[in-house]
Amino acid sequence: MSRNRIHVECANECSSRLGYPPTLAVVTSTRSLVNAVPGSGRVRDQIASAVRGLLSGGPNSVPSSRGIGLRGASSSHETNPYRPGSDITEPAGDPGLFGPDSIAWRVGQDPAALLGGVRALLLQTVHPLAMAGVAEHSDYRHDPWGRLQRTAQYVAITTFGSTDAAHRTIDMVKAVHSRVEGVAPDGRHYSAQDPALLTWVHTTEIDSFLTAVREYGSIELTDAEADQYVAEMAVLGRLMGGTDVPESVDEISEYYKMMRPALLGSPQARGAARFLMWPPVPLPIRPAYGVVAAAAVATLPNFVRKELWLPQTAKLDNLVTKPAGKLVADILGWSLGDSLMAAAALARASAEAPTR
């Protein structure tokens, strides 16, 4: 049996288990045809290496074993070198916090979620206390990808990792938060342990992942499934210490309305937004990142774009930016391939637990 045929059959199996439409196999087959074009493999590997490097601090692992505690990660010079470690593969029979039938697993493996990560960072800047914590306790100008890497690693392990790994990761993040406090430029005290700030960060992340996947992703979610995703991830928000965490898309909208008077584009926020729009990225991926950043901005609420002095160009967004964002997400999906992390998590959850 050919390797391409095996890929298609594996896609059909994953489609059935994870609730994807049958078109996933068609997408996989199409990728196989593209891979047959001379030189396409080299291009694919270059893109994948650059993306993994930005997200993990190195080209050969996603997420990085250096980051927030992923155990057992290893790499090779294969096309897709990441091999999920024991935080993902063990113990047998453990579904993790969400499990194979969750919407969290479907959203978490869509490459468009990467665009959502950039959107979340932009959106979070308009909360003056959250922005003060970032400005005073992170080195984002010298380590511009650190926050995005840590967010990606946190989401990956809490979504696909074992139950123990997810709770251990949450505890590690809480330990870091315990050291983040200070006084914002407006004189107010802030703490990363503040339940209100934790709710803000959680809500903006989940809203951004969902928005990006629905706008640019390869999966289609009904309104009920979108609500289910928000409700599933609310469990994570509460475990992190958030309170009154939104549990539906409508509740997210109401939350933003409630928060609106407290949000503004401070000098710190606008400076961070400028940096996120034009960060120091490797030359080969600079054009692609420009599209990613523009696509993230295109999905921001208008008031956020206004506060951050970002362009408000609805017609251009619909005609150019959003189609370009969809194209970039599709290219990411082609270059990164099917999620080995999701496959390993599915194997772990489906395996028979050892008898005592």
Q: What is the total count of domains within the chain?
A: 2
Cβ partners under 8 Å of residue 280, min gap 6: 144
Residue recorded with tokens 């362009």: 311
Same domain assignment for residues 321 and 182: yes
Residue recorded with tokens 């800047």: 125
Side-chain half-sphere exposure of 197, counting CA atoms within 13 A: 20
In a domain, 217, yes or no: yes
Look at residue 2 and tell me whether its pLDDT is greater than 80.
no
Same domain assignment for residues 30 and 171: no
Same domain assignment for residues 32 and 141: no
| CB distance 116 to 295 below 8 Å | no
Same domain assignment for residues 20 and 110: no
- Give per-residue burial for 199-209: e unless 16+ CB within 10 Å, then b: bbbbbbbbbbb
| CB distance 170 to 68 below 8 Å | no
Model pLDDT, residue 86: 73
How many C-beta neighbours within 10 Å does residue 162 have? 23
Average of per-residue pLDDT across 322-334: 90
Same domain assignment for residues 200 and 298: yes
* pTM of structure: 0.80
In a domain, 58, yes or no: no
Average of per-residue pLDDT across 241-256: 98
| CB distance 93 to 349 below 8 Å | yes
What does DSSP say about strands 181-183 and 189-191: parallel, antiparallel, or unpaired? antiparallel
Residue 261: both structure tokens together: 């008077």
Model pLDDT, residue 24: 39
Distance CA 100, CA 14 (A): 10
Task: Measure the N-to-C terminal CA separation of the chain; round to a whole number of Å.
Answer: 39
In a domain, 66, yes or no: no
Look at residue 147 and tell me whether its pLDDT is greater than 80.
no
Cβ partners under 8 Å of residue 155, min gap 6: 108, 113, 205, 209
| CB distance 51 to 332 below 8 Å | yes
pLDDT digits 0-9 by tens, 96-118: 999 999 999 999 999 999 899 99
Distance CA 90, CA 345 (A): 8
In a domain, 240, yes or no: yes
Q: Is 134 helix (H, G, I), strand (E, B) or coil?
A: helix
Same domain assignment for residues 166 and 315: yes
In a domain, 289, yes or no: yes
Look at residue 259 and tell me whether its pLDDT is greater than 90.
yes
Q: Which of 297, 355, 286, 284 is nearest to 325 (CA)?
A: 297
Average of per-residue pLDDT across 264-289: 88
Percent composition of the chain: helix, strand, coil (DSSP 3-state, to 5): 65, 0, 35
Same domain assignment for residues 160 and 25: no
Model pLDDT, residue 44: 62
Same domain assignment for residues 177 and 319: yes
Same domain assignment for residues 25 and 136: no
Question: What is the DSSP secondary-structure string of 219-241?
Answer: S---HHHHHHHHHHHHHHHHHTT
Same domain assignment for residues 287 and 141: yes
Q: Please state which of the ranges 13-17, 89-93, 133-137 shows the lowest mean pLDDT.
A: 13-17
Model pLDDT, residue 281: 77
> What is the residue-averaged pLDDT of the chain?
81
Average of per-residue pLDDT across 240-255: 97
Q: Is 243 helix (H, G, I), strand (E, B) or coil?
A: coil
Same domain assignment for residues 138 and 249: yes
Q: Please state which of the ranges 42-46, 175-179, 281-285 shows the lowest mean pLDDT.
A: 42-46
pLDDT digits 0-9 by tens, 40-85: 666 666 666 666 655 554 433 333 333 333 333 333 333 333 456 7
Average of per-residue pLDDT across 155-170: 94
Same domain assignment for residues 128 and 273: yes
In a domain, 53, yes or no: no
Average of per-residue pLDDT across 159-176: 94
Model pLDDT, residue 273: 95
In a domain, 265, yes or no: yes
Segments forming the whole domain that contains residue 29 = 1-36
In a domain, 70, yes or no: no
Amino acid residing at 78: E
Model pLDDT, residue 38: 54
